[in-house]
Amino acid sequence: MIANLITALADIIILALCLWAVLDKRVHTRFIGTLLLSCFGIWAFFSVLKVYWLGRPESALMAILNVLLAFVAAMIYLFWRDPRKKERLK
């Protein structure tokens, strides 16, 4: 039960950050980036609903992997939001 809640929260974070990256004009994802982030966001959306549709519990390993993936997505978000990123990219 706890693993399902953790996985759902991590997937919601992943979905939100994918939507931000695709819809924000300042992030230049181009065609392939937009396509991959859209697919990844759709995967996160269906992963959230999978527990309710199938009633199948998630394993603890899957919950840990989703939390780590959400952490990486949050770090990417923070990197793009940082106003000093232009200095680092030069």
Helix axes 2-23, 60-81, angle to 10 degrees: 30
- For Cα atoms 42, 44, 45, give the angle at the middle one, nearest 5 degrees: 65
| Weakest mean pLDDT among 35-39, 53-57, 71-75 | 53-57
Which has more confidence, 20 or 52? 20
Total count of residues recorded for the chain: 90
Whole-structure pTM value: 0.68
Nearest CA to 26 among 87, 83, 88? 83
Tens of pLDDT along 6-46? 778 888 888 888 888 888 877 777 788 788 888 888 888 88
Confidence of residue 75 (pLDDT cuts 50, 70, 90): confident
Q: How far apart are CA 48 and CA 63, in angstroms?
A: 12
